[in-house]
């Protein structure tokens, strides 16, 4: 499971960085979204990978090792919300730039 | 600090939040009401922050437990001398920028007042919080508001620069998250004080992971502070932003400096074992490279806006290298320099807009603005700029000369004291060594003096071109509301000079408590919970 997760985070982050460096604004925003997915998965994995373990203590007390770490799950929720909001804001700026300059190049003009 | 006044610590976060939320309820036709609410909240923040600074100066670290959870588990707000200092600086600069904006700029786009308040909330929160993830949240609040403000006034130039600014800061935010989560994964805590305790007991393998996490986190702050290879976005964004916005942005880059100062001394102090002084070599080299880059930029600038933006970089570089030296005396000088240079650059950004108004590039931008935002209120804007008072050019000229003195670090103003304190501390060999001064210290001294010279040269050139030998003299029409904040900011630096002794004592006390973080750690982790009234014994 570790390997699968690591490979998927790496793929997302790698594609995201590549797209981020592309000259079209749409590519940049898709790149940023992919990086944010990679980062969210990464935060999640920092709570150690477990299955069949609840994050909320219920019923029986005892060994903490039976439970998943709830903090990264809370963090990832916050990160998703903030990442989503800022990406939406970026989308507005992207459209404004397209409207004002007439091109979707990140520099606001086509290269000669 | 007990009772009611204890809750004052959270006021710098709650007040702008409430004011910003309230401002959203009124539409843009109620400009007067919105301006009044914004002014009231910002001036109240001045009073609150001064009161908090008094408290921070007399008592030990004050801790506010949110939701009454004990320290390492819940989120805490921590007030100490450093955070109080930054709060005071924020509130003063914000007040000046706001009064300036009320003359004209606040009408150049929607939701200026709301965004301004949310920006203050993010700034204040970032200075007060004692929790890494909470720092991220306040950082994002601050950045989201700044994304809106950088676009304030619209126009193709701002949108283009804003696009780059947002993309780079979003990418930096993701680095921030990676860093924070790595640190959590290794140490199992997000509380800064708890982190400082746990770092000494880490195994070697974990320590490497923690240092990687801290390095990734550091990159995010260095982007914000504008260290050299990461700073190419800054001059563009700052020089096209509306004048009052640019003045507040001068403070935004100091947030990165603040966090680096706080974390490097708290977490990677002497107690951190083999991780002590982690990254300080990089900060020294990077800081000096930033000074050199900023210096070249200052000389090469063809427009005043870019000159001021590169001055921000020079100031950042000076501070970063000073943090890297990690010496209490140097830190005290750096704090004085931080306050002085932030006020100077803020005042310069405001002043530039007034000076350039006579020379037309700003008028061009405004014309574009009116076009983009709807040209209906063009007459109203013209009306506002109205009152030209006698001697405008003389006052502007004197203010400009004072800014030049401050940037260059010439006596008698506070720019000189800041640089003098820095150099005196850098060239004093640390106790315990055999009296040699590091070659880095000599290089730093040379760069600091050269950067002053560069600022002087460049300011002189612009001054001569604008005030002494203009091709056609155009007296800019400046309203009283615009020149007063600039003059007040410059008077503030005069105040810093006259009250140099007490201010320096505060800075030294701040630096010495930063360099012995045990008191901070004990204060946070030992903070007592409030006992609920009439609680049942369990």
Along the 538 residues of chain B, how does pLDDT read in single tens digits?
456 678 888 999 999 999 999 988 888 788 888 888 999 999 999 999 999 998 888 877 888 888 888 878 888 999 989 999 999 999 999 999 999 988 878 777 778 899 999 999 999 999 999 899 999 999 999 999 999 898 888 778 888 888 889 999 999 999 999 999 999 989 888 888 888 888 888 888 888 899 999 999 999 999 999 888 888 888 888 888 888 899 999 999 999 999 999 998 888 877 777 777 788 888 889 999 999 999 999 998 888 888 999 999 999 999 999 998 888 888 999 999 999 999 999 999 999 888 887 665 544 444 444 444 544 444 344 444 545 566 778 888 889 999 998 888 888 888 899 999 998 888 886 655 555 567 888 888 899 999 999 999 999 988 888 888 766 666 777 777 888 899 999 999 999 889 888 999 999 998 888 888 888 888 888 888 877 665 544 4
Domain enclosing residue A29, as ranges? 2-49+68-101
| B339: closest CA of chain A, how far (Å) | 31
Nearest CB among A47, A75, A93 relative to B166 is that of: A93
CB A47 within 8 A of CB A68: yes
Q: How many domains does chain A have?
A: 1
Chain A residue nearest residue B371, CA to CA = A100
Decide if A80 touches B, using CB distance below 8 A.
Answer: no
CB B78 within 8 A of CB B56: no
Q: For residue B39, what are its two tokens? A: 């002014």
Chain A residue nearest residue B141, CA to CA = A82
| A33: closest CA of chain B, how far (Å) | 10
Long-range contacts of B371-380 (CB under 8 A, 24+ apart): B372/A100, B372/B154, B372/B155, B373/B108, B373/B109, B373/B153, B373/B154, B377/B107, B380/B107
- ipTM associated with this complex: 0.92
CB B160 within 8 A of CB A107: yes
pLDDT given at position B471: 66
Q: Which residues pair with B84 in a beta bridge?
A: none
Phi/psi-derived region of residue B534, left when phi > 0, alpha when psi is between -120 and 50, beta in every other case: left
Nearest CB among B159, B167, B181 relative to A96 is that of: B159
Task: Name which of B495, B270, B227, B247 is nearest B350 in CA terms.
Answer: B247
- CA angle, B155 as apex, B153 and B159 as ends, to 5°? 95
| B286: closest CA of chain A, how far (Å) | 24
Q: How many CB pairs under 8 A join A and B?
A: 90
What CATH number is associated with residue A97?
1.10.287
d(CA B342, CA B501): 20
| B163: closest CA of chain A, how far (Å) | 6
| A66: closest CA of chain B, how far (Å) | 17
pLDDT given at position A13: 95
- Chain A partners of B171 at a C-beta cutoff of 8 Å? 20, 32, 35
**Burial class of residue B309, CB neighbours in 10 A (0-12, 13-18, 19+):** buried
d(CA B116, CA B103): 15
pLDDT given at position B537: 45
Question: Would residue A57 count as lying in a domain?
Answer: no
Question: Would residue A93 count as lying in a domain?
Answer: yes
Task: Name which of B423, B398, B426, B353 is nearest B494 in CA terms.
Answer: B398
Tell me the CA distances in angstroms from B420 to B330, B452, B501, one per residue in order: 11, 12, 13
Chain A residue nearest residue B164, CA to CA = A106
Question: Would residue A76 count as lying in a domain?
Answer: yes
Query: Which of A20, A46, A81 to mutate to test binding with chain B, by most B CBs within 10 Å of its CB?
Result: A46
Given the structure tokens 């009439």, which residue do they identify?
A: B534
| A11: closest CA of chain B, how far (Å) | 16
Which of B358-367 are b and which e, b meaning 16 or more Cβ less than 10 Å from the residue's Cβ? bbeebeebbe
Which of A69-90 are b and which e, b meaning 16 or more Cβ less than 10 Å from the residue's Cβ? bebbeebbebbeebbeebbebb
Decide if B170 touches A, using CB distance below 8 A.
Answer: yes
- CA angle, A17 as apex, A15 and A20 as ends, to 5°? 110
Q: How far apart are the first and last CA of chain B?
A: 28
Nearest CB among A25, A86, A100 relative to B144 is that of: A86
- Chain B partners of A20 at a C-beta cutoff of 8 Å? 167, 171
Q: Do A107 and B160 touch (CB under 8 A)?
A: yes
Structural domain boundaries in chain B: 3-272+279-519
Given the structure tokens 């680095």, which residue do they identify?
A: B175
pLDDT given at position B143: 92
CB A72 within 8 A of CB B206: no
pLDDT given at position B301: 86
- Number of neighbours of residue B232 by Cβ within 10 angstroms: 12
d(CA B400, CA B397): 5
CB B76 within 8 A of CB B83: no
- Chain A partners of B137 at a C-beta cutoff of 8 Å? 78, 82
Q: Do A97 and B160 touch (CB under 8 A)?
A: yes
pLDDT given at position B455: 92
pLDDT given at position B531: 75
Tell me: the pLDDT tens digits for B294-329?
A: 999 999 888 888 899 999 999 999 999 999 888 888
Nearest CB among A47, A78, A93 relative to B137 is that of: A78
Q: For residue B134, what are its two tokens? A: 């909470």
Tell me: the pLDDT tens digits for B52-67?
A: 998 888 877 888 888 8
CB A79 within 8 A of CB B217: no
Task: Name which of A4, A32, A39 is nearest A17 in CA terms.
Answer: A32
Question: Would residue A19 count as lying in a domain?
Answer: yes
Question: Would residue A11 count as lying in a domain?
Answer: yes
Query: Which of B139, B171, B189, B213 to mutate to test binding with chain A, by most A CBs within 10 Å of its CB?
Result: B171
d(CA B322, CA B332): 10
Which of A13-27 are b and which e, b meaning 16 or more Cβ less than 10 Å from the residue's Cβ? bebbeebbeeeebeb
Q: For residue B111, what are its two tokens? A: 């939701």
pLDDT tens for each residue of chain A, 112 residues long: 889 999 999 999 999 999 999 989 899 999 999 999 999 999 988 888 877 777 776 666 667 667 778 888 888 999 999 988 888 989 988 888 888 888 888 887 777 7
Q: Which residues pair with B469 in a beta bridge?
A: none
Given the structure tokens 């008592």, which residue do they identify?
A: B59
A105: DSSP letter: B
Question: Would residue A72 count as lying in a domain?
Answer: yes
Question: Would residue A81 count as lying in a domain?
Answer: yes
CB B46 within 8 A of CB B494: no
């Amino acid at each position: 499971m570790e390997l699968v997760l690591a490979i998927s985070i790496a793929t997302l982050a790698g594609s995201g960085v590549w797209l981020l460096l592309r000259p079209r604004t749409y590519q940049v925003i898709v790149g940023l979204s992919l990086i944010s997915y990679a980062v969210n998965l990464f935060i999640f994995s920092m709570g150690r990978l477990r299955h069949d373990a609840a994050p909320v203590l219920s019923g029986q007390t005892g060994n903490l090792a039976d439970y998943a770490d709830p903090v990264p799950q809370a963090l990832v929720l916050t990160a998703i919300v903030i990442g989503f909001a800022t990406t939406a804001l970026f989308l507005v700026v992207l459209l404004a730039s397209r409207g004002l300059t007439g091109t979707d190049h990140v520099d606001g003009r086509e290269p000669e | 600090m007990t009772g009611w006044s204890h809750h004052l610590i959270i006021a710098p976060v709650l007040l702008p939040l409430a004011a910003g939320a309230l401002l959203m309820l009124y539409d843009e036709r109620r400009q007067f009401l919105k301006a009044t609410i914004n002014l009231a909240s910002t001036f109240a923040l001045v009073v609150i922050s001064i009161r908090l600074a008094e408290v921070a100066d007399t008592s030990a670290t004050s801790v506010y437990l949110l939701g009454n959870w004990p320290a390492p588990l819940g989120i805490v707000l921590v007030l100490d001398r450093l955070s109080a200092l930054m709060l005071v600086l924020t509130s003063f600069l914000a007040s000046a920028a706001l009064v300036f904006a009320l003359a004209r700029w606040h009408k150049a786009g929607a939701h200026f007042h709301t965004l301004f308040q949310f920006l203050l909330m993010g700034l204040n929160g970032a200075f007060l919080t004692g929790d890494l993830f909470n720092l991220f949240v306040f950082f994002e609040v601050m950045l989201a508001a700044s994304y809106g403000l950088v676009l304030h006034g619209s126009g193709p130039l701002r949108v283009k620069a804003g696009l780059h600014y947002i993309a780079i800061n979003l990418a930096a935010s993701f680095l921030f998250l990676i860093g924070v989560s790595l640190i959590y994964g290794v140490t199992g805590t997000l509380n800064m004080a708890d982190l400082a305790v746990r770092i000494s007991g880490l195994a070697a393998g974990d320590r490497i992971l923690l240092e990687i996490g801290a390095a990734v986190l550091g990159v995010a702050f260095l982007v914000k502070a504008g260290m050299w290879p990461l700073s190419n976005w800054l001059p563009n964004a700052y020089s096209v932003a509306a004048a009052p916005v640019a003045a507040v942005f001068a403070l935004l880059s100091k947030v990165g400096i603040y966090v680096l100062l706080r974390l490097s001394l708290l977490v990677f102090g002497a107690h951190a074992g083999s991780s002590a002084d982690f990254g300080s070599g990089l900060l020294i080299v990077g800081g000096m490279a930033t000074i050199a880059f900023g210096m070249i930029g200052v000389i090469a600038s063809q427009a005043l806006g870019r000159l001021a933006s590169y001055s921000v970089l020079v100031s950042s570089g000076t501070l970063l290298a000073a943090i890297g030296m990690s010496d209490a005396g140097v830190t005290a000088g750096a704090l004085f320099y931080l306050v002085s240079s932030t006020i100077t650059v803020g005042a310069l950004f405001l002043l530039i807009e007034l000076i350039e108004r006579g020379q037309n590039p700003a008028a061009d931008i405004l014309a574009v603005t009116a076009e983009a935002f709807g040209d209906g209120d063009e007459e109203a804007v013209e009306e506002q700029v109205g009152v030209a008072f006698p001697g405008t050019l003389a006052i502007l000229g004197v203010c400009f000369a004072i800014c030049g003195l401050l940037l260059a670090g010439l006596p008698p103003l506070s720019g000189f004291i800041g640089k003098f304190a820095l150099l005196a501390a850098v060239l004093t060999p640390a106790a315990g060594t055999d009296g040699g001064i590091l070659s880095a210290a000599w290089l730093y001294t040379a760069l600091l003096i050269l950067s002053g010279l560069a600022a002087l040269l460049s300011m002189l050139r612009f001054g001569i071109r604008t005030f002494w030998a203009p091709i056609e003299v155009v007296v800019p029409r400046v309203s009283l509301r615009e020149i007063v904040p600039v003059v007040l900011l410059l008077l503030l630096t005069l105040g810093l000079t006259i009250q140099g002794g007490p201010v320096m004592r505060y800075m030294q006390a701040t630096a010495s408590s930063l360099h012995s973080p045990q008191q901070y750690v004990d204060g946070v982790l030992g903070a007592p919970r409030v006992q609920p009234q009439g609680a049942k014994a369990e």
